[in-house]
Amino acid sequence: MSDPKTDAGHCYRHPDRESYILCQRCGRTICPECQTPAPVGFQCPECMREARASAPRTRPAVVTRMRGAARGGGPIVTYSIIAVTAVIWVLQILPVVGNAVTNALAYAPVLTVEQPWRMLTAALVHSDRSVVHLLFNMFTLFIFGRILEPTIGRARFGALYAISALGGSAAVLLLDPLGAVVGASGAVFGLMGATLVIQRGLGGNATGLLILIGLNLVSGFFIPNVSWQGHLGGVIAGALVGLVYIRTRGPRRRTAQVLLTIGVALLIVVATVIGVVAYFG
Which residues form the catalytic set?
185, 231
| Contact in structure between 259 and 245 (CB atoms under 8 Å) | no
Going by C-alpha positions, the residue among 78, 222, 90, 194 that lies closest to residue 141 is 78
AA letter at 110: V
- Bridge partners (DSSP) listed for residue 37: 42
> CB neighbours of 25 closer than 8 A, spacing ≥ 6?
43, 44, 47, 51
Calculated CA dihedral for residues 249, 253, 255, 261, nearest 10 degrees:
-40
How many Cβ atoms from other residues are within 10 Å of residue 48's Cβ? 16
Alpha-helical segments (H) within 106-131: 118-121
